[in-house]
Amino acid sequence: MTGKEEGVHEQIRRRCVHLGKMLLETGLTVRALAKVTGYSKSTVHKDLTERLPNVDVALSEEVAKILAYHKSVRHLRGGEATRIKWINETKKVGSVEV
């Protein structure tokens, strides 16, 4: 089966495995992986967390470790993003003389 003859389920399976392998190779976040692949963040997350375990158990276990790590550091990434935002805001305000 190739092209249009390929079943929808098989396409989803292949997409799940492809996303899982990409995550292992790159270590990207779900949001970044979605942006790179052109899929929605929701689709990428659902494929990696719900569908992949039914397709490839070993791959899904490795992916789960990376996703757990991302979840454990997300508060740090958010805090850093906020810190940088406020530094940039301060620079903008400081450069404009009132």
Domain boundaries, the chain: 3-71
* Token couple for 48: 């990696």
User: Is there a contact between 44 and 15 (Cβ–Cβ < 8 Å)?
Assistant: no
Say whether pLDDT at 3 is over 70.
no
Name the one residue in this structure whose structure tokens are 């976040």.
29
What is the pTM (predicted TM-score) of this model?
0.74
Mean residue pLDDT across the chain: 88
Examine the pLDDT at 28 and tell me if it is beyond 60.
yes
Average pLDDT over residues 4-28: 89
In this predicted structure, what is the pLDDT of residue 4? 54
SS3 track for 53-92: HHHCHHHHHHHHHHHHHHHHHHHHHHHHHHHHHHHHHHHH
Place of tokens 């039914």: 54
Q: What are phi and psi of 2, to 5 degrees?
A: -140, 160
